[in-house]
């Protein structure tokens, strides 16, 4: 924890912080502090106030009460520009880069006026930062060509470029592959060693326990406690967050299998940059079955989900729902055919931000507007159904008329899950269904997926989380470079076997 460099920020304290939104007390007398060289994790359920507290520190929100002190002196942080000037940077839950610009242009964008550097100098400085902290980025790459993990690295480099001594990372790992998480952690450890202060938000307890020096837990806007990591356990943290015991394991009871609900026959498709992303994939999912799809992301998972949902054209092969060829059906037709889809990039593909909770819960066509305008809407029924779903999924919202945009990240995720599961679909494509949702909601969503299985839904569960795949699936298909390496039975496989298949290594088994 020794600071190798003298940093401007030695200690930051937030005290008695209060923040109100219409109908919500998002921060209720919260205290938080961090010092140079420390990684301080912030934990709490969806809507607990984590992002809000950090947006106050980053100057995006003004608190209704309380103080912020830097190195013992009270400060006012009136805007992000002001935060940056005081040495505070933030990597958001949802990135804010400009797609059409290059990495270097994005980094240089919006810098406070000063000596204007040429792009070549910006690129040079990015290279040296990326070398120093082990962050792989190509300063010349246009942002639209980058993966989510690469975009995040750009955000971190951007903050370092601006001289951030304290960096806030809001759920940085939610969008990363396990390998990228390891790389990020090594970068963050390096930064902490170098005297940076790091605030890390995550719903994954094992990550928090691996990285943090101290852990602060919020619940419903209130501070539950701050603890040293040493000596604290996962069940303890879970209880602090949720206020009750949380089942960290699921029971997977056998369900009789029915007919094939979905079948893919040698389906191929291209990815965003035109490469062959799916290469003659064949699989089938039966009624009452969860077929897990494991694999390092970027091996065709996204394209697989999109071709089935009807959002990406195939270049070959056939897709069947209930024995009928639906390869030429539109996304809306497939929804009518009984398909539900929980997309991976839910903030972009799953909701309309300006619409209310109720409107988003009853959207029939998830492909985005304009969708069919009905002449007649039964508002009472809509309201009742919405309220029920909000209760079941414990969506934290002041009302069903609140625009989705003002909900916390995890609560927006829950809305899409609630909508898709409420359709009682014949076939469900669930891509990273618990990404960004808290442990209580994860428990509930897993239970709902298993309930749907008992009711005969055929589920394709695409997940980066191997524990999740192993806990829920009946069979597991492993995708590697657009092909299915193998499909194994959950009963007889192991994490090791799947890990090898994910790396493209064939194992010999009966
Ligand atoms: N701009 C806003 N307008 C209105 N309400 C808001 C706004 N931002 C946050 N809230 C509300 O404040 C509460 C706390 O939200 P916040 O985003 O801080 O939660 P969080 O702990 O980050 O949750 P998550 O884990 O889901 O990201 C929520 O009830 C949310 O609906
Ligand atoms: Mg948040």
Q: Which residue from 135, 137, 104 is spatially nearest to 121, judged by alpha carbons?
A: 104
pLDDT, averaged across the chain: 89
User: 231-240, 325-334, 338-347, 452-461: which range is least confident on average?
Assistant: 338-347
Convert the pLDDT of each residue in 242-259 to its tens digit. Answer: 887 776 666 778 888 899
Question: Which residue from 408, 417, 440 has its CB within 8 A of the most atoms of ligand 1, so it is best to mutate?
Answer: 408
For residue 431, the model assigns a pLDDT of 93
Buried b (16+ CB within 10 A) or exposed e, 49-65: bbbbbbbbbbbbbebee
Span from the CA of 35 to the centroid of ligand 2 (angstroms): 22
For residue 5, the model assigns a pLDDT of 57
The arrangement of strands across the sheet holding 458-462 comes to 339-342, 427-431, 458-462, 290-294, 475-480, 483-489
pLDDT at 427 over 50: yes
Convert the pLDDT of each residue in 46-55 to its tens digit. Answer: 999 999 999 9
370 pLDDT band, cuts 50/70/90, is very low
Q: Which residue from 223, 234, 231 is spatially nearest to 15, judged by alpha carbons?
A: 223
Which range of 139-148, 255-264, 431-440 scores highest in mean pLDDT? It is 255-264
For residue 76, the model assigns a pLDDT of 97
For residue 99, the model assigns a pLDDT of 86
CA separation for the pair 490, 466 (Å, rounded): 12
For 136, phi then psi, to 5°, come to -85, 110
92 pLDDT band, cuts 50/70/90, is confident
For residue 4, the model assigns a pLDDT of 46
User: 318-327, 406-415, 479-488: which range is least confident on average?
Assistant: 406-415
The three-point CA angle 360-366-370 to 5° equals 85
Q: 176 or 164, which is more confident?
A: 164
For residue 327, the model assigns a pLDDT of 94
Question: Which residue from 22, 41, 52, 347 has its CB within 8 A of the most atoms of ligand 1, so it is best to mutate?
Answer: 52
Span from the CA of 44 to the centroid of ligand 2 (angstroms): 9
Radius of gyration of the chain (CA): 23
Span from the CA of 75 to the centroid of ligand 2 (angstroms): 24
For residue 248, the model assigns a pLDDT of 64
Q: In the numeric block, which tokens belong to residue 81?
A: 């520009």
Q: Collapse the DSSP code of 380 into the 3-class scheme (helix H, G, I; strand E, B; otherwise coil) and give the result.
A: helix
DSSP β-bridge partners for residue 14? 32, 68
pLDDT at 96 over 70: yes
Which range of 90-94, 130-134, 242-246 scores highest in mean pLDDT? It is 130-134
Q: In the numeric block, which tokens belong to residue 164?
A: 């951030």
Enumerate domains of the chain plus CATH numbers.
11-242 (3.40.50.300), 262-355+423-502 (3.40.50.300)
Cβ 366 vs Cβ 335: under 8 Å: yes
For residue 368, the model assigns a pLDDT of 33
Span from the CA of 375 to the centroid of ligand 2 (angstroms): 37
pLDDT at 288 over 70: yes
Q: Give the global pTM.
A: 0.83
User: Which bound ligand lies closest to the C-alpha atom of 353?
Assistant: 1
Q: In the numeric block, which tokens belong to residue 316?
A: 């070959």
Question: Which residue from 30, 51, 62, 412 has its CB within 8 A of the most atoms of ligand 1, so it is best to mutate?
Answer: 51
Q: Omega before 370 cis (within 30°)?
A: yes
DSSP state of 5: S
For 174, phi then psi, to 5°, come to -60, -30
User: 80-89, 285-294, 408-417: which range is least confident on average?
Assistant: 408-417
372 pLDDT band, cuts 50/70/90, is very low
For residue 167, the model assigns a pLDDT of 98
Q: Which residues, in sequence order, are CB contacts of 505 under 8 Å at separation 6+?
A: none
pLDDT at 15 over 80: yes
Q: In the numeric block, which tokens belong to residue 509?
A: 């088994």
Q: With pLDDT > 70 as the criterion, what percentage of the chain qualifies?
A: 92
User: Which bound ligand lies closest to the C-alpha atom of 61?
Assistant: 1
For 265, phi then psi, to 5°, come to -115, 110
DSSP β-bridge partners for residue 30? 17
Neighbours of ion ligand 2 (CB under 5 A): 51, 408-409
pLDDT at 2 over 70: no
User: 111-125, 211-225, 337-351, 429-443: which range is least confident on average?
Assistant: 111-125
For residue 220, the model assigns a pLDDT of 93
Which range of 2-6, 360-364, 378-382, 468-472 scores highest in mean pLDDT? It is 468-472
User: Which bound ligand lies closest to the C-alpha atom of 22?
Assistant: 1
User: Which bound ligand lies closest to the C-alpha atom of 53?
Assistant: 1
Span from the CA of 106 to the centroid of ligand 2 (angstroms): 24
Q: What is the 3-state secondary structure (H, E, C) of 49-74?
A: CHHHHHHHHCCCCCCCEEEEEECCEE
Residues near ligand 1 (Cβ within 6 A): 21, 24, 26, 44, 46-52, 396, 406-411, 438
Span from the CA of 61 to the centroid of ligand 2 (angstroms): 14
CA separation for the pair 128, 134 (Å, rounded): 10
Span from the CA of 408 to the centroid of ligand 1 (angstroms): 4
């Amino acid at each position: 924890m020794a600071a190798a460099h003298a940093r401007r920020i030695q200690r930051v304290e937030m005290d008695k912080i209060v923040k109100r939104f219409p109908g919500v007390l998002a921060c209720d007398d919260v205290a938080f502090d961090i010092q140079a060289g420390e990684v301080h994790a912030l934990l709490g359920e969806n809507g607990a106030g984590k992002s809000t507290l950090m947006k106050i520190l980053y100057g995006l929100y003004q608190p209704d009460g309380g103080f912020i002190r830097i190195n013992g002196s009270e400060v006012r942080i009136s805007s992000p520009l002001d935060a940056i000037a005081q040495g505070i940077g933030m990597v958001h839950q949802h990135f804010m880069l400009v797609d059409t610009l290059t990495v270097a242009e994005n980094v240089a964008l919006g810098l406070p006026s000063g000596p204007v550097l040429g792009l070549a100098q910006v690129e040079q400085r990015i290279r040296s930062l990326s070398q120093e902290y082990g962050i792989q980025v190509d300063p010349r790459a246009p942002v639209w060509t980058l993966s989510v993990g690469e975009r995040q690295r750009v955000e971190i480099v951007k903050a370092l470029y601006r001289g951030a001594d304290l960096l806030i990372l809001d759920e940085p790992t939610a969008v990363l592959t396990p390998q990228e998480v390891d790389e990020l952690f090594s970068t963050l450890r390096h930064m902490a060693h170098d005297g940076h202060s790091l605030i890390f938000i995550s719903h994954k307890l094992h990550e928090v326990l691996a990285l943090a020096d101290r852990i602060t837990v919020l619940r419903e806007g209130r501070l539950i406690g701050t603890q040293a990591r040493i000596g604290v356990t996962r069940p303890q943290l879970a209880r602090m967050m949720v206020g009750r015991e949380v089942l960290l394991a699921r029971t997977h009871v056998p369900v009789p299998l029915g007919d094939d609900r979905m079948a893919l026959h040698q389906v191929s498709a291209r990815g965003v940059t035109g490469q062959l992303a799916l290469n003659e994939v064949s699989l089938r999912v039966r009624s009452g079955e969860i077929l897990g799809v494991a694999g390092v992301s970027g091996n065709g998972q996204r394209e697989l989900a999109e071709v089935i949902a009807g959002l990406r054209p195939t270049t070959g092969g056939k897709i069947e729902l209930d024995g009928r060829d639906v390869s030429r059906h539109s996304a809306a037709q497939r929804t009518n055919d009984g398909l539900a889809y929980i997309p991976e990039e839910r903030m972009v593909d799953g909701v309309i931000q300006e619409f209310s909770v109720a409107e988003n819960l009853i959207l029939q066509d998830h492909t985005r507007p304009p969708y069919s305008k009905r002449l007649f809407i039964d508002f009472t029924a809509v309201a009742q159904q919405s309220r029920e779903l909000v209760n079941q999924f414990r969506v934290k919202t002041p009302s069903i008329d609140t625009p989705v945009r003002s909900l916390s990240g995890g609560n927006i995720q829950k809305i899409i899950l609630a909508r898709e599961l409420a359709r009682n679909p014949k076939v469900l494509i669930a891509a990273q269904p618990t990404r960004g949702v808290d442990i209580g909601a994860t428990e509930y969503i897993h239970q709902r997926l298993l309930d749907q299985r008992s009711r005969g839904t055929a589920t394709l569960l695409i997940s980066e989380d191997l524990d999740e795949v192993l806990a829920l699936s009946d069979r597991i298909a492993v995708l590697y470079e657009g092909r299915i390496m193998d499909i194994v039975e959950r009963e007889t496989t192991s994490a090791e076997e799947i890990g090898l298949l994910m790396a493209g290594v064939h194992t010999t088994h009966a």
